Amino acid sequence: MRPGGAHPLRKESTAQPHSKPGLDARRAAVRLLAAVIDARTPLDALTDNEHGHPQFLALSARDKALVRAILVSALRHRCTIESLIRETLERPLPEKARALSHILHVGAAQILFLDVPDSAAVDLAVAQAKTDPRTARFSGLVNAVLRNLARGGGEALPRALARTRDAPAWFMEHLESAYGRETADAILAAHRREPPTDFTVKSDPDGWAVRLGGRVLPNGSVRVDRLPAPVAELPGYAEGEWWVQDAAASLPARLLGDVRRRAVADLCAAPGGKTAQLAQAGAMVTAVDLSASRLQRLEVNLNRLGLTAQTVEADLLAWRPDQRFDAVLLDAPCSSTGTVRRHPDVPWTKRPEDIQRLAELQSRLLERALMLLRPGGVLVFANCSLDPAEGEELVGRLLAERREVVLYPVRASELPDAEHFITSEGYLRTTPAVPETAGQLGDVDGFFAARLRVQE
Protein backbone atom coordinates (compact mmCIF):
# COMPACT_ATOMS: atom_id res chain seq x y z
CA MET A 1 0.00 0.00 0.00
CA ARG A 2 1.17 3.55 -0.73
CA PRO A 3 1.21 6.33 1.87
CA GLY A 4 -2.37 7.30 2.52
CA GLY A 5 -3.51 3.78 1.64
CA ALA A 6 -4.43 4.67 -1.94
CA HIS A 7 -4.81 1.83 -4.38
CA PRO A 8 -2.62 2.48 -7.45
CA LEU A 9 -5.67 2.37 -9.72
CA ARG A 10 -7.29 5.12 -7.73
CA LYS A 11 -4.27 7.35 -7.89
CA GLU A 12 -5.27 10.27 -10.05
CA SER A 13 -2.70 12.96 -9.57
CA THR A 14 0.33 11.77 -11.57
CA ALA A 15 1.10 10.53 -15.06
CA GLN A 16 0.66 6.78 -15.52
CA PRO A 17 3.91 5.11 -16.63
CA HIS A 18 2.33 2.93 -19.32
CA SER A 19 -0.62 5.07 -20.24
CA LYS A 20 -1.81 5.43 -23.83
CA PRO A 21 -0.73 8.61 -25.63
CA GLY A 22 -3.26 11.29 -24.85
CA LEU A 23 -4.75 9.50 -21.84
CA ASP A 24 -3.05 11.70 -19.24
CA ALA A 25 -4.53 14.79 -20.87
CA ARG A 26 -8.05 13.26 -20.77
CA ARG A 27 -7.58 12.18 -17.16
CA ALA A 28 -6.55 15.72 -16.28
CA ALA A 29 -9.53 17.14 -18.19
CA VAL A 30 -11.95 14.88 -16.28
CA ARG A 31 -10.29 15.68 -12.95
CA LEU A 32 -10.48 19.43 -13.61
CA LEU A 33 -14.06 19.27 -14.84
CA ALA A 34 -14.96 17.51 -11.58
CA ALA A 35 -13.19 20.28 -9.63
CA VAL A 36 -15.15 22.99 -11.47
CA ILE A 37 -18.57 21.32 -11.35
CA ASP A 38 -18.49 19.44 -8.04
CA ALA A 39 -16.16 21.65 -5.97
CA ARG A 40 -16.86 24.99 -7.73
CA THR A 41 -13.16 25.71 -8.23
CA PRO A 42 -12.47 28.43 -10.84
CA LEU A 43 -10.89 27.10 -14.04
CA ASP A 44 -8.21 29.81 -14.04
CA ALA A 45 -6.96 28.63 -10.64
CA LEU A 46 -6.82 25.01 -11.82
CA THR A 47 -4.96 25.87 -15.02
CA ASP A 48 -2.61 28.50 -13.62
CA ASN A 49 0.89 27.76 -14.96
CA GLU A 50 2.49 28.15 -11.53
CA HIS A 51 -0.13 27.24 -8.95
CA GLY A 52 -2.51 25.11 -11.02
CA HIS A 53 -3.69 21.56 -10.32
CA PRO A 54 -0.72 19.08 -10.16
CA GLN A 55 -2.30 16.86 -12.80
CA PHE A 56 -2.46 19.86 -15.14
CA LEU A 57 1.06 21.07 -14.33
CA ALA A 58 2.48 17.59 -15.14
CA LEU A 59 1.34 17.91 -18.79
CA SER A 60 3.30 19.15 -21.81
CA ALA A 61 2.47 22.62 -23.14
CA ARG A 62 0.56 21.01 -26.02
CA ASP A 63 -1.54 18.85 -23.71
CA LYS A 64 -2.19 21.82 -21.44
CA ALA A 65 -3.62 23.70 -24.41
CA LEU A 66 -5.72 20.66 -25.34
CA VAL A 67 -7.07 20.30 -21.79
CA ARG A 68 -8.02 23.97 -21.68
CA ALA A 69 -9.74 23.71 -25.06
CA ILE A 70 -11.67 20.62 -23.94
CA LEU A 71 -12.79 22.29 -20.72
CA VAL A 72 -13.76 25.57 -22.34
CA SER A 73 -15.93 23.67 -24.85
CA ALA A 74 -17.34 21.32 -22.20
CA LEU A 75 -18.36 24.26 -19.98
CA ARG A 76 -19.49 26.59 -22.75
CA HIS A 77 -21.87 23.91 -24.08
CA ARG A 78 -22.53 21.98 -20.90
CA CYS A 79 -26.33 21.85 -21.22
CA THR A 80 -26.22 21.01 -24.94
CA ILE A 81 -23.81 18.15 -24.25
CA GLU A 82 -25.96 16.93 -21.36
CA SER A 83 -29.05 16.98 -23.54
CA LEU A 84 -27.32 14.95 -26.29
CA ILE A 85 -25.99 12.41 -23.78
CA ARG A 86 -29.48 12.01 -22.28
CA GLU A 87 -30.95 11.46 -25.71
CA THR A 88 -28.77 8.40 -26.20
CA LEU A 89 -29.55 6.89 -22.78
CA GLU A 90 -32.65 4.91 -21.88
CA ARG A 91 -32.62 6.33 -18.34
CA PRO A 92 -30.76 9.34 -16.97
CA LEU A 93 -27.50 8.58 -15.15
CA PRO A 94 -27.87 8.39 -11.39
CA GLU A 95 -27.01 11.74 -9.76
CA LYS A 96 -24.07 10.18 -7.90
CA ALA A 97 -22.41 8.80 -11.05
CA ARG A 98 -20.28 11.95 -11.18
CA ALA A 99 -17.06 10.37 -12.51
CA LEU A 100 -18.95 8.68 -15.33
CA SER A 101 -20.76 11.90 -16.24
CA HIS A 102 -17.47 13.84 -16.39
CA ILE A 103 -15.84 11.21 -18.65
CA LEU A 104 -18.83 11.41 -21.01
CA HIS A 105 -18.78 15.22 -21.07
CA VAL A 106 -15.04 15.35 -21.80
CA GLY A 107 -15.42 12.77 -24.59
CA ALA A 108 -18.48 14.52 -26.04
CA ALA A 109 -16.81 17.96 -26.00
CA GLN A 110 -14.01 16.59 -28.20
CA ILE A 111 -16.37 14.81 -30.60
CA LEU A 112 -18.80 17.69 -30.97
CA PHE A 113 -16.64 20.78 -30.76
CA LEU A 114 -12.94 20.01 -31.21
CA ASP A 115 -10.75 18.94 -34.03
CA VAL A 116 -9.91 15.61 -32.37
CA PRO A 117 -10.53 12.37 -34.32
CA ASP A 118 -13.75 10.82 -32.96
CA SER A 119 -12.08 7.41 -32.65
CA ALA A 120 -9.36 8.84 -30.40
CA ALA A 121 -11.90 10.65 -28.21
CA VAL A 122 -13.98 7.48 -27.81
CA ASP A 123 -11.03 5.09 -27.25
CA LEU A 124 -9.42 7.32 -24.64
CA ALA A 125 -12.72 7.83 -22.77
CA VAL A 126 -13.29 4.05 -22.73
CA ALA A 127 -9.69 3.43 -21.58
CA GLN A 128 -10.14 5.96 -18.81
CA ALA A 129 -13.46 4.46 -17.72
CA LYS A 130 -11.86 0.98 -17.56
CA THR A 131 -9.00 2.09 -15.32
CA ASP A 132 -11.16 3.94 -12.79
CA PRO A 133 -12.91 1.56 -10.36
CA ARG A 134 -15.84 3.97 -10.11
CA THR A 135 -16.55 3.68 -13.82
CA ALA A 136 -14.96 0.37 -14.95
CA ARG A 137 -18.30 -1.44 -15.22
CA PHE A 138 -19.70 1.37 -17.38
CA SER A 139 -16.98 1.28 -20.04
CA GLY A 140 -19.42 -0.37 -22.49
CA LEU A 141 -21.92 2.43 -21.88
CA VAL A 142 -19.21 5.08 -22.46
CA ASN A 143 -18.34 3.39 -25.73
CA ALA A 144 -21.99 3.20 -26.86
CA VAL A 145 -22.92 6.78 -25.90
CA LEU A 146 -19.85 8.40 -27.48
CA ARG A 147 -20.02 6.29 -30.67
CA ASN A 148 -23.63 7.27 -30.96
CA LEU A 149 -22.73 10.98 -30.61
CA ALA A 150 -19.93 10.58 -33.17
CA ARG A 151 -22.33 9.00 -35.66
CA GLY A 152 -25.21 11.43 -35.18
CA GLY A 153 -23.26 14.57 -34.17
CA GLY A 154 -23.51 16.29 -37.54
CA GLU A 155 -27.30 16.48 -37.42
CA ALA A 156 -28.12 16.13 -33.77
CA LEU A 157 -25.85 18.99 -32.67
CA PRO A 158 -27.64 21.89 -34.43
CA ARG A 159 -30.98 20.59 -33.15
CA ALA A 160 -29.64 20.34 -29.60
CA LEU A 161 -28.10 23.82 -29.80
CA ALA A 162 -31.42 25.23 -31.00
CA ARG A 163 -33.50 23.68 -28.20
CA THR A 164 -31.01 24.24 -25.35
CA ARG A 165 -29.90 27.29 -23.37
CA ASP A 166 -26.36 26.76 -22.15
CA ALA A 167 -26.51 27.98 -18.55
CA PRO A 168 -27.63 26.81 -15.13
CA ALA A 169 -31.24 27.71 -14.27
CA TRP A 170 -30.37 30.38 -11.68
CA PHE A 171 -28.18 32.24 -14.17
CA MET A 172 -30.83 32.23 -16.90
CA GLU A 173 -33.41 33.49 -14.42
CA HIS A 174 -31.18 36.37 -13.29
CA LEU A 175 -30.45 37.38 -16.90
CA GLU A 176 -34.08 37.16 -17.91
CA SER A 177 -35.36 39.16 -14.97
CA ALA A 178 -32.74 41.88 -15.59
CA TYR A 179 -32.84 42.11 -19.39
CA GLY A 180 -35.97 40.28 -20.64
CA ARG A 181 -36.08 37.06 -22.62
CA GLU A 182 -34.80 38.40 -25.94
CA THR A 183 -31.66 40.10 -24.59
CA ALA A 184 -31.02 37.21 -22.17
CA ASP A 185 -31.07 34.85 -25.16
CA ALA A 186 -28.69 37.11 -27.10
CA ILE A 187 -26.31 37.16 -24.11
CA LEU A 188 -26.46 33.37 -23.79
CA ALA A 189 -25.85 33.02 -27.54
CA ALA A 190 -22.76 35.26 -27.21
CA HIS A 191 -21.51 33.06 -24.35
CA ARG A 192 -21.32 30.13 -26.75
CA ARG A 193 -18.95 31.93 -29.11
CA GLU A 194 -15.19 32.34 -28.86
CA PRO A 195 -14.73 36.07 -28.10
CA PRO A 196 -12.28 38.27 -29.98
CA THR A 197 -9.19 39.73 -28.26
CA ASP A 198 -9.10 43.51 -27.82
CA PHE A 199 -5.94 45.54 -27.35
CA THR A 200 -5.63 48.99 -25.82
CA VAL A 201 -2.82 50.66 -27.75
CA LYS A 202 -0.69 53.53 -26.52
CA SER A 203 -0.75 55.20 -29.93
CA ASP A 204 -1.19 54.58 -33.67
CA PRO A 205 -4.24 52.25 -33.59
CA ASP A 206 -4.29 52.07 -37.40
CA GLY A 207 -0.68 50.92 -37.53
CA TRP A 208 -1.23 48.34 -34.77
CA ALA A 209 -4.36 47.05 -36.44
CA VAL A 210 -2.23 46.27 -39.52
CA ARG A 211 0.66 44.78 -37.55
CA LEU A 212 -1.61 42.63 -35.36
CA GLY A 213 -3.92 41.61 -38.21
CA GLY A 214 -6.99 43.25 -36.68
CA ARG A 215 -9.22 46.30 -37.03
CA VAL A 216 -9.72 49.54 -35.12
CA LEU A 217 -12.92 49.72 -33.07
CA PRO A 218 -14.90 52.97 -32.69
CA ASN A 219 -13.39 53.50 -29.21
CA GLY A 220 -9.81 53.20 -30.51
CA SER A 221 -9.15 49.63 -29.31
CA VAL A 222 -7.69 47.18 -31.81
CA ARG A 223 -9.63 43.93 -32.24
CA VAL A 224 -8.23 40.61 -33.45
CA ASP A 225 -10.70 37.76 -34.01
CA ARG A 226 -8.22 34.88 -33.73
CA LEU A 227 -4.77 35.37 -32.31
CA PRO A 228 -2.06 33.97 -34.59
CA ALA A 229 0.29 33.32 -31.62
CA PRO A 230 0.36 33.60 -27.83
CA VAL A 231 0.01 37.21 -26.66
CA ALA A 232 3.65 37.45 -25.45
CA GLU A 233 4.88 36.51 -28.93
CA LEU A 234 2.90 39.18 -30.81
CA PRO A 235 4.62 42.27 -32.26
CA GLY A 236 4.68 45.17 -29.83
CA TYR A 237 4.35 43.06 -26.66
CA ALA A 238 8.01 43.24 -25.63
CA GLU A 239 8.16 46.92 -26.61
CA GLY A 240 5.17 47.64 -24.34
CA GLU A 241 3.09 49.21 -27.10
CA TRP A 242 -0.27 47.75 -25.98
CA TRP A 243 -2.06 45.62 -23.41
CA VAL A 244 -4.93 43.18 -23.72
CA GLN A 245 -8.16 44.75 -22.45
CA ASP A 246 -11.72 44.10 -23.56
CA ALA A 247 -13.09 47.25 -25.21
CA ALA A 248 -15.85 47.47 -22.55
CA ALA A 249 -13.27 47.33 -19.75
CA SER A 250 -11.56 50.38 -21.25
CA LEU A 251 -14.66 52.60 -20.88
CA PRO A 252 -14.95 53.16 -17.07
CA ALA A 253 -11.55 54.88 -16.68
CA ARG A 254 -12.54 57.35 -19.41
CA LEU A 255 -15.47 58.52 -17.27
CA LEU A 256 -12.98 60.29 -14.98
CA GLY A 257 -12.40 62.81 -17.80
CA ASP A 258 -9.12 64.64 -18.18
CA VAL A 259 -6.84 63.14 -15.51
CA ARG A 260 -3.58 64.81 -16.54
CA ARG A 261 -1.49 65.64 -13.42
CA ARG A 262 -4.45 64.62 -11.23
CA ALA A 263 -4.04 62.43 -8.14
CA VAL A 264 -6.09 59.34 -8.97
CA ALA A 265 -6.66 56.34 -6.70
CA ASP A 266 -7.16 53.14 -8.66
CA LEU A 267 -8.75 50.86 -6.07
CA CYS A 268 -8.81 47.08 -6.57
CA ALA A 269 -6.30 47.76 -9.30
CA ALA A 270 -4.59 44.49 -10.19
CA PRO A 271 -3.64 43.24 -12.74
CA GLY A 272 -3.64 46.86 -13.83
CA GLY A 273 -5.51 47.32 -17.11
CA LYS A 274 -7.14 50.49 -15.81
CA THR A 275 -4.02 51.64 -13.94
CA ALA A 276 -2.18 51.54 -17.27
CA GLN A 277 -4.93 53.57 -18.95
CA LEU A 278 -4.85 56.22 -16.22
CA ALA A 279 -1.04 56.41 -16.16
CA GLN A 280 -0.98 56.61 -19.96
CA ALA A 281 -3.49 59.48 -19.76
CA GLY A 282 -1.06 61.41 -17.53
CA ALA A 283 -2.55 60.80 -14.07
CA MET A 284 -0.49 60.39 -10.89
CA VAL A 285 -1.90 57.00 -9.99
CA THR A 286 -1.95 55.24 -6.65
CA ALA A 287 -2.86 51.61 -7.36
CA VAL A 288 -4.23 49.69 -4.38
CA ASP A 289 -4.87 45.96 -4.19
CA LEU A 290 -5.27 43.36 -1.48
CA SER A 291 -3.38 40.63 -3.28
CA ALA A 292 0.44 40.73 -3.20
CA SER A 293 0.77 38.32 -6.14
CA ARG A 294 -1.74 40.22 -8.27
CA LEU A 295 -0.07 43.52 -7.40
CA GLN A 296 3.23 42.02 -8.50
CA ARG A 297 1.64 41.18 -11.85
CA LEU A 298 0.46 44.80 -12.07
CA GLU A 299 4.03 46.00 -11.51
CA VAL A 300 5.40 43.64 -14.16
CA ASN A 301 2.71 44.85 -16.58
CA LEU A 302 3.44 48.53 -15.91
CA ASN A 303 7.20 47.94 -16.30
CA ARG A 304 6.67 46.32 -19.66
CA LEU A 305 4.53 49.26 -20.72
CA GLY A 306 7.03 51.83 -19.42
CA LEU A 307 4.32 53.37 -17.21
CA THR A 308 4.48 54.25 -13.53
CA ALA A 309 2.13 54.21 -10.56
CA GLN A 310 2.60 54.10 -6.85
CA THR A 311 1.50 50.66 -5.69
CA VAL A 312 -0.01 49.90 -2.28
CA GLU A 313 -0.74 46.43 -0.96
CA ALA A 314 -3.69 46.97 1.34
CA ASP A 315 -7.22 45.97 2.18
CA LEU A 316 -9.25 48.92 1.00
CA LEU A 317 -11.61 48.45 3.93
CA ALA A 318 -8.71 49.20 6.31
CA TRP A 319 -6.58 51.54 4.17
CA ARG A 320 -6.14 55.04 5.64
CA PRO A 321 -3.95 57.13 3.27
CA ASP A 322 -2.62 60.56 4.28
CA GLN A 323 -3.97 62.23 1.17
CA ARG A 324 -7.35 62.53 -0.55
CA PHE A 325 -7.71 62.13 -4.29
CA ASP A 326 -9.01 64.26 -7.17
CA ALA A 327 -10.53 61.14 -8.68
CA VAL A 328 -11.17 57.57 -7.59
CA LEU A 329 -11.79 54.48 -9.69
CA LEU A 330 -13.18 51.49 -7.81
CA ASP A 331 -13.22 48.38 -10.02
CA ALA A 332 -14.69 46.16 -7.36
CA PRO A 333 -14.39 42.38 -7.03
CA CYS A 334 -17.61 40.92 -8.47
CA SER A 335 -19.27 37.77 -9.76
CA SER A 336 -17.58 38.34 -13.18
CA THR A 337 -20.75 37.28 -14.98
CA GLY A 338 -19.90 39.82 -17.69
CA THR A 339 -16.88 37.75 -18.69
CA VAL A 340 -18.54 34.34 -19.20
CA ARG A 341 -17.41 34.36 -22.84
CA ARG A 342 -13.83 34.15 -21.57
CA HIS A 343 -14.57 32.29 -18.34
CA PRO A 344 -17.32 29.76 -19.10
CA ASP A 345 -16.89 28.20 -15.64
CA VAL A 346 -18.34 31.31 -13.93
CA PRO A 347 -22.05 30.35 -14.03
CA TRP A 348 -21.13 26.88 -12.75
CA THR A 349 -18.81 27.97 -9.95
CA LYS A 350 -20.90 30.91 -8.71
CA ARG A 351 -24.26 30.74 -6.93
CA PRO A 352 -26.96 33.36 -6.27
CA GLU A 353 -25.66 33.60 -2.67
CA ASP A 354 -22.27 34.67 -4.08
CA ILE A 355 -23.91 37.56 -5.94
CA GLN A 356 -25.52 38.78 -2.71
CA ARG A 357 -22.29 38.38 -0.73
CA LEU A 358 -20.27 40.22 -3.38
CA ALA A 359 -22.86 42.99 -3.65
CA GLU A 360 -22.59 43.55 0.11
CA LEU A 361 -18.79 43.65 -0.07
CA GLN A 362 -18.98 46.10 -2.98
CA SER A 363 -21.28 48.40 -0.98
CA ARG A 364 -18.75 48.48 1.85
CA LEU A 365 -15.85 49.09 -0.54
CA LEU A 366 -17.81 51.89 -2.21
CA GLU A 367 -18.50 53.58 1.15
CA ARG A 368 -14.76 53.51 1.89
CA ALA A 369 -13.82 54.70 -1.58
CA LEU A 370 -16.13 57.74 -1.26
CA MET A 371 -14.23 58.77 1.88
CA LEU A 372 -11.03 59.04 -0.16
CA LEU A 373 -12.37 61.78 -2.46
CA ARG A 374 -11.32 65.36 -1.96
CA PRO A 375 -14.18 67.90 -2.03
CA GLY A 376 -15.40 68.21 -5.61
CA GLY A 377 -13.72 64.97 -6.66
CA VAL A 378 -15.27 62.34 -8.90
CA LEU A 379 -15.62 58.61 -8.28
CA VAL A 380 -16.32 55.87 -10.80
CA PHE A 381 -17.65 52.61 -9.44
CA ALA A 382 -17.33 49.76 -11.94
CA ASN A 383 -17.40 46.01 -12.22
CA CYS A 384 -17.72 43.24 -14.81
CA SER A 385 -20.98 41.80 -13.52
CA LEU A 386 -24.18 41.57 -15.54
CA ASP A 387 -26.26 41.43 -12.39
CA PRO A 388 -28.14 44.61 -11.38
CA ALA A 389 -27.71 43.53 -7.73
CA GLU A 390 -24.03 44.43 -8.17
CA GLY A 391 -24.74 47.51 -10.28
CA GLU A 392 -27.90 49.58 -10.72
CA GLU A 393 -29.61 48.29 -7.56
CA LEU A 394 -26.55 48.74 -5.36
CA VAL A 395 -25.91 52.30 -6.54
CA GLY A 396 -29.64 53.13 -6.48
CA ARG A 397 -29.79 52.11 -2.82
CA LEU A 398 -26.71 54.17 -1.94
CA LEU A 399 -28.18 57.25 -3.64
CA ALA A 400 -31.47 56.79 -1.77
CA GLU A 401 -29.76 56.36 1.61
CA ARG A 402 -27.02 58.99 1.32
CA ARG A 403 -28.50 62.27 0.08
CA GLU A 404 -25.07 63.93 -0.15
CA VAL A 405 -23.91 61.31 -2.67
CA VAL A 406 -25.18 62.20 -6.13
CA LEU A 407 -25.07 60.57 -9.51
CA TYR A 408 -23.02 62.46 -12.07
CA PRO A 409 -24.65 60.94 -15.15
CA VAL A 410 -22.57 59.86 -18.12
CA ARG A 411 -23.43 61.96 -21.16
CA ALA A 412 -23.56 60.69 -24.72
CA SER A 413 -21.15 63.44 -25.82
CA GLU A 414 -18.46 61.99 -23.54
CA LEU A 415 -18.62 58.52 -25.05
CA PRO A 416 -19.86 59.02 -28.61
CA ASP A 417 -18.37 55.65 -29.53
CA ALA A 418 -20.36 53.88 -26.81
CA GLU A 419 -23.47 56.05 -26.61
CA HIS A 420 -25.72 53.00 -26.99
CA PHE A 421 -24.33 51.61 -23.74
CA ILE A 422 -25.44 54.63 -21.67
CA THR A 423 -28.73 54.06 -19.83
CA SER A 424 -31.50 56.63 -19.36
CA GLU A 425 -30.26 57.18 -15.75
CA GLY A 426 -26.73 57.92 -16.98
CA TYR A 427 -25.08 54.63 -16.03
CA LEU A 428 -22.79 52.72 -18.35
CA ARG A 429 -24.13 49.21 -18.96
CA THR A 430 -22.54 46.99 -21.58
CA THR A 431 -23.54 43.43 -22.45
CA PRO A 432 -22.27 40.95 -25.02
CA ALA A 433 -25.79 40.94 -26.54
CA VAL A 434 -24.94 43.97 -28.71
CA PRO A 435 -23.28 42.84 -31.95
CA GLU A 436 -20.33 44.64 -33.49
CA THR A 437 -21.36 46.46 -36.63
CA ALA A 438 -19.59 49.02 -38.77
CA GLY A 439 -19.26 52.11 -36.61
CA GLN A 440 -20.88 50.54 -33.54
CA LEU A 441 -18.91 49.16 -30.63
CA GLY A 442 -20.22 45.69 -29.83
CA ASP A 443 -19.35 42.06 -29.06
CA VAL A 444 -17.91 43.22 -25.74
CA ASP A 445 -17.86 41.88 -22.19
CA GLY A 446 -20.56 42.89 -19.70
CA PHE A 447 -19.63 45.92 -17.61
CA PHE A 448 -21.34 48.37 -15.30
CA ALA A 449 -20.14 51.82 -14.27
CA ALA A 450 -21.67 54.66 -12.30
CA ARG A 451 -20.09 58.07 -11.75
CA LEU A 452 -20.65 59.74 -8.40
CA ARG A 453 -19.84 62.92 -6.53
CA VAL A 454 -20.18 63.89 -2.88
CA GLN A 455 -21.97 67.20 -2.29
CA GLU A 456 -20.62 69.59 0.33
Ligand X SMILES: C[S@@+](CC[C@H](N)C(=O)[O-])C[C@H]1O[C@@H](n2cnc3c(N)ncnc32)[C@H](O)[C@@H]1O
Among all residues, which ones are annotated catalytic? 384
Cα 416 to Cα 261: distance, rounded to the nearest angstrom: 25
Residue 393 C-beta: closest distance to ligand X, Å? 19
Residue of 450, 432, 449, 451 whose CA lies nearest to 441: 432
- Name which of 173 and 315 has its Cβ closer to ligand X: 315
**Binding test (CB under 6 A) with ligand X, winner from 273, 344, 391, 446:** 273
Residue 453 C-beta: closest distance to ligand X, Å? 21
Cα 235 to Cα 227: distance, rounded to the nearest angstrom: 12
Count of residues touching ligand X (by CB under 6 A): 17
Reported in sequence order, the residue ranges of 56-188 that DSSP labels E, i.e. its strands, are none
Residue 272 is assigned to a ligand binding site? yes
Q: Binding of ligand X at residue 196 (CB under 6 A)?
A: no
**Binding test (CB under 6 A) with ligand X, winner from 107, 153, 236, 271:** 271
Residue 45 is assigned to a ligand binding site? no
According to DSSP, the β-strands at 284-289 and 325-331 are unpaired
Q: Binding of ligand X at residue 269 (CB under 6 A)?
A: yes
Residue 70 C-beta: closest distance to ligand X, Å? 27
Q: Binding of ligand X at residue 198 (CB under 6 A)?
A: no
Binding residues for ligand X restricted to 280-339, rule: CB under 6 A: 288-291, 294, 315-317, 331, 333
Quote the Cα angle for 385-449-222, to 5°.
85
Cα 413 to Cα 234: distance, rounded to the nearest angstrom: 35
- Name which of 81 and 268 has its Cβ closer to ligand X: 268
Residue 88 C-beta: closest distance to ligand X, Å? 41
- Name which of 173 and 360 has its Cβ closer to ligand X: 360
Residue of 68, 137, 135, 145 whose CA lies nearest to 111: 145
Torsion of CA 304, 310, 311, 317, to 10 degrees: -150
Residue 318 C-beta: closest distance to ligand X, Å? 8
Element (H, E) at 380: strand 373-383
What is the C-alpha end-to-end distance of the chain, expressed in Å? 73
Residue 38 is assigned to a ligand binding site? no
Cα 243 to Cα 437: distance, rounded to the nearest angstrom: 23
- Name which of 132 and 198 has its Cβ closer to ligand X: 198
Q: Binding of ligand X at residue 274 (CB under 6 A)?
A: yes
Residue nearest ligand X, CB atom distance:
268
**Binding test (CB under 6 A) with ligand X, winner from 214, 272, 377, 446:** 272
Choose the stretch contacting ligand X; rule: CB under 6 A; options: 11-19, 133-141, 272-280, 406-414: 272-280
- Name which of 92 and 321 has its Cβ closer to ligand X: 321
Burial of 259 (0-12, 13-18, 19+ CB in 10 A): buried
Long-range own/partner contacts, residues 184-192 (CB < 8 A, 24 or more apart): 186/431, 186/432, 186/433, 187/386, 187/431, 187/432, 187/433, 187/446, 190/341, 190/432, 190/433, 190/443, 191/76, 191/166, 191/167, 191/340, 191/341, 191/344, 191/432, 192/76, 192/77, 192/161, 192/166
Chain-centroid distance of CA 255 in Å reads: 23
Q: Binding of ligand X at residue 268 (CB under 6 A)?
A: yes
Residue 268 is assigned to a ligand binding site? yes
Instruction: Mark 416-455 with x for binding to ligand X (rule: CB under 6 A) and - for no binding.
Output: ----------------------------------------
Residue ranges binding ligand X (CB under 6 A): 268-274, 288-291, 294, 315-317, 331, 333
Residues that constitute the known binding site for S-adenosyl-L-methionine: 268-274, 289, 315, 331
